[in-house]
Amino acid sequence: MRELKKILYAEDEPDIRSVAEMALEMVGEFTLKSCENGQEAVNAVADFQPDLILLDVMMPVMTGPSALLAIRKIPGFEHTPVVFMTAKVQPQEIAEYKKMGVLEVIPKPFDPMALAGNLRRVWEKHNG
Amino acid sequence: MRDFKENSPEKEPKIKAWIDLPSFTPWLVLILSLFATFIGWYIIRENQVSQEKARFEAEVFEHVLAIKHRMESYEQVLLAGVAFVDASNTVDRGEWRTFANNLHVQGLFPGTLGYGYAIFVPHEKVVAHEALMQAEGFPGYRIHPIDENLTPSAIIFLEPLNDRNKKAIGYNMFKEPNRLAAMTRAIETGNAALSGRVTLVQENKGPVQAGTLMYLPVYQKGALLKTVEDRRAAIIGFVYAPLRMGDLMQGVLGKYEHFIDLHIFDGESTAEADLMYDSDGIIVHDKTPEFHQQKVVEISGRKWNLVFKNSENFTATVDTSKQWLIAIGGILVSLLLFGFVRELALLQNRAVALARQMTSDLLASESQANAVLETALDGIITISEQGLIQSFNPAAETLFGYPTDEVLGQNVNMLMPEPYSSNHDGYLFNFLNTGHRKIIGSGREVIGRRKDGSTFPMKLAVSQDKANQRFVGIVSDITAEKTADAQKELFVSTVSHELRTPITAISGMLKLLLGVFASQLPPKAIEMLQKADNNCNRLIRLINDILDMEKIAAGKMPFHMKVYDLVKLTQQAIEDNQGYADKAGITLMFQKTLPERAFAVIDSDRFAQLMANLISNAVKFSPKDQPVEISLSVLGGDIRIGVQDHGPGIPEDFHDKIFQRFAQADKGDTRKPGGTGLGLAICQMIVEKFAGKINFQTAMAVGTTFFVTLPATESSADPLA
């Protein structure tokens, strides 16, 4: 199984984005492409070719779920693992996201020291 | 409320009795019945009377015959005498006596005072005759009275020759008008002739009885008797008998003497002067007799008026029992009938009055019920088993925007949006046939559709009215609540997001500092960062707890209640919280011997939350190197989980506040950081949702044990965990 290398990340809150960036680059040592909203993430997919996509749910311009749907339409990325992060963790919503094909929903606040490990687990589960 | 069946509660209820009896009916019945009784009595009486009358008349007939026969027999006796005289050449006294004695006249013919023979003595022969008679033993014998114009007659024989009769010898009967008339008649007819009423010469002692004399003519032997002249010329004398009526008629009535009163009058009169015989001795009675018959008979050429009347004894024998039986019986029956019919009428009146009262009560209560429907704020709709709307109250009209007449008889699914509208018939059919409920009994939140097509959330409670084969639905518009709920939910959701966003950043930064840059930081900085991190964690927990509580309280926290093996779940919880305990240096110990079977219906996530709270509390309050013991046992139908610490215990004055929000025991410096103050409140809420109980045991300076008791399930379903 290939290692998880490239992660595409979208989050509109700058400070949270900084925390996640540090968690993924410094702690997780991933190659990260960071975006401000869903639309940017969709645009970056083809060029960046991520292994895994981490999206915040509530974002302006395009939300996480909308971005997911759009990404799925990109050829070659129909099955790329997608993980959501959100402060709103209604179980019904989580179920909805899972139905959409999201592999995991990470609640906010998140532990930045555990983030990399969580994503790796998801990756392994997805590929195993 | 306009019902499908029209009602007019304003009209007086028309109550029809089974038979409408006017109030005088009992009296009418009584009168008719008494009248019938009277008629019956009268008929029987008349019947009785006519029977008695017939009896009487038959008797009378018999008596008349008897009287006639009797008199005829007396004629015969005299005829014998005539025959005797005729047969003899001469008749002397001695022969006459013998003859009379042989006839036993007195004995056989009562009332006969004598049996006599009188002859005509021509004027010229009178003196010689008298001399002869004197010589025979009648000194002083004279024919008396003598009428110059009439041929004298004299009684020469009269047996028995007692004192009484002796006086009659020589008497010229031909002078006395009554006797003359009879004698003349006898001469002229040649038959027996009875005289009119006389007082007999002989009568001089004893009660006076009326009398009469019977004459039979004696003619010359061999004389021509063709004409009256012949007979007048040929007459020589008479055989005669004076008759005393009383004795004569004695016993003529025989055994009926007491029942019939007979008066015999001379001639056709009924005057007392002409009374010849009175059977009971009473001439005029006080009482008018019931029966009365008069028969005029001819006795030996003389008319007698026989007046028969029934005596009181006669009527006494009449059997009136039948009449009185009928009368009394009839009266009783009439009274009974009267009473019965009256009762019937009274009962009916009471029944009608009762029916009226009940109907008016019913109408009153109906109108009260109607008032409820009219004024209720909730919509009340009834539908038939086919789903057709039968009633629609004013509130429903307002709610859905339809006037009642537009919905009556329509299918209720017109009030629902799709897809419910199309499915409703199916649901109804399903329920009626299988009893499977989709909506019956519970209050459910559904969507209603108004006339203008708009939809709104509503609370619907449906019940089944089996007796009337319909369903009753109560509908209330919960748009406002929904809005409020929605607003609240939106608020909570927004708040949670808004709070969590900055905290994510803060928490993240702190953790990164501690995790990535620790080596570059002075110890003091690290210490400070750690404190900040702890507080941040606490804040996060607080926010989570608050939001959890809100969710649970609003019923928004989903509880997926399924059968779980609590042993496994408790084990899992201990493992999950091990990390936290380790950090605090506390050992978590699970009971060694565990029950084989401890299944309960719970939500696994909430159970985990519950256990996490209890364990973290125990850890928080445990002194280092003291373990926290978790126990699990099955008692009766319950599973009991205990979490025990060896901490300071809970003070008495806190016992009743322990499950309240934000209540924390210690106010002093022994305050243990990290608690949100909501943990036990949340535990209680969760336990209550599990239909269980939570309580604790504590002893100061010894420790505290929290117990969660949950109902065990006997469900045969395999537990999910």
Mean per-residue pLDDT of chain A: 92
Which comes out higher in pLDDT, residue A75 or B46?
A75
Decide: helix, strand or coil at residue B620: helix
Q: Is B507 touching A (CB cutoff 8 A)?
A: yes
Tokens of A44: 């970056």
Find the mean pLDDT for residues B373-396.
91
Per-residue model confidence as pLDDT tens digits over A110-127? 999 999 999 999 999 998
Does residue B145 have a pLDDT over 70? yes
Chain A residue numbers touching B496 (CB-CB < 8 A): 87-88
pLDDT of residue B6: 47
Percent of chain A scored above 90 by pLDDT?
80
A19-53 burial: b if 16+ Cβ within 10 Å, else e: bbebbbeebbebebbbbbbbbbbbebbeebebbbb
pLDDT of residue B674: 57
Percent of chain B scored above 90 by pLDDT?
25
Instruction: For residue B515, give the nearest of A15, A108, A113 by CB distance.
Output: A113
With cut-offs at 50, 70 and 90, classify the pLDDT of residue B531. very high
pLDDT of residue A12: 93
- Per DSSP (E only), the strands in B636-692 are 638-645
Cα radius of gyration rounded to whole Å, chain B: 72
Mutation target to probe the B interface, by most B beta carbons within 10 A, among A105, A108, A111, A113 is A108
Q: CA A121, CA A101: separation in Å to the nearest integer?
A: 17
pLDDT of residue B17: 61
pLDDT of residue B672: 54
Chain A interface, Cβ < 8 Å to B: 13, 15-16, 18-20, 22-23, 26-27, 58, 87-88, 90-92, 108-113
Which comes out higher in pLDDT, residue A25 or B247?
A25
pTM: 0.44
Cβ separation B505–A16 shorter than 8 A: yes
pLDDT of residue A110: 94
pLDDT of residue B669: 42
Find the mean pLDDT for residues B453-482.
87
Distance from CA of A74 to the nearest CA of B (A): 31
Find the mean pLDDT for residues B525-545.
90
Does residue B204 have a pLDDT over 60? no
pLDDT of residue B205: 61
pLDDT of residue B206: 62
Distance from CA of A23 to the nearest CA of B (A): 7
- Per DSSP (E only), the strands in B622-662 are 628-635, 638-645
Residue with tokens 């059997």: B319
Find the mean pLDDT for residues B466-477.
90
With cut-offs at 50, 70 and 90, classify the pLDDT of residue B675. low
Could you tell me which residues come within 8 angstroms of residue B669 by beta carbon, excluding any fewer than 6 positions away?
A: none
Size of interface A-B (CB pairs under 8 A): 62
Instruction: For residue B507, give the nearest of A20, A91, A109 by CB distance.
Output: A109
Does residue B13 have a pLDDT over 70? no
Does residue B574 have a pLDDT over 90? yes
Per-residue model confidence as pLDDT tens digits over B486-510? 777 777 777 877 888 999 999 999 9
pLDDT of residue B4: 45
Helix residue ranges, H only, B376-419: 394-400, 404-407
Find the mean pLDDT for residues B374-383.
91
Cβ separation B505–A58 shorter than 8 A: no
Percent of chain B scored above 70 by pLDDT?
90
With cut-offs at 50, 70 and 90, classify the pLDDT of residue B207. low
Which comes out higher in pLDDT, residue B106 or B650?
B650
Does residue B646 have a pLDDT over 90? yes
With cut-offs at 50, 70 and 90, classify the pLDDT of residue B717. low
With cut-offs at 50, 70 and 90, classify the pLDDT of residue B202. low
Find the mean pLDDT for residues A104-112.
93
Range of lowest pLDDT (B110-119, B196-205, B597-606): B196-205
Q: What are the backbone dihedrals phi and psi of residue B444, each rounded to the nearest 5 degrees, phi first? A: -120, 150
Mean per-residue pLDDT of chain B: 84
Decide: helix, strand or coil at residue B127: helix
Does residue B12 have a pLDDT over 70? no
Which comes out higher in pLDDT, residue B605 or B318?
B605
Q: CA B495, CA B484: separation in Å to the nearest integer?
A: 16
pLDDT of residue B269: 83
pLDDT of residue B439: 64
Per-residue model confidence as pLDDT tens digits over A45-59? 999 999 999 999 999
Per-residue model confidence as pLDDT tens digits over B29-61? 888 888 888 888 888 888 887 888 888 888 888
Report the amino acid identity of residue B424: H
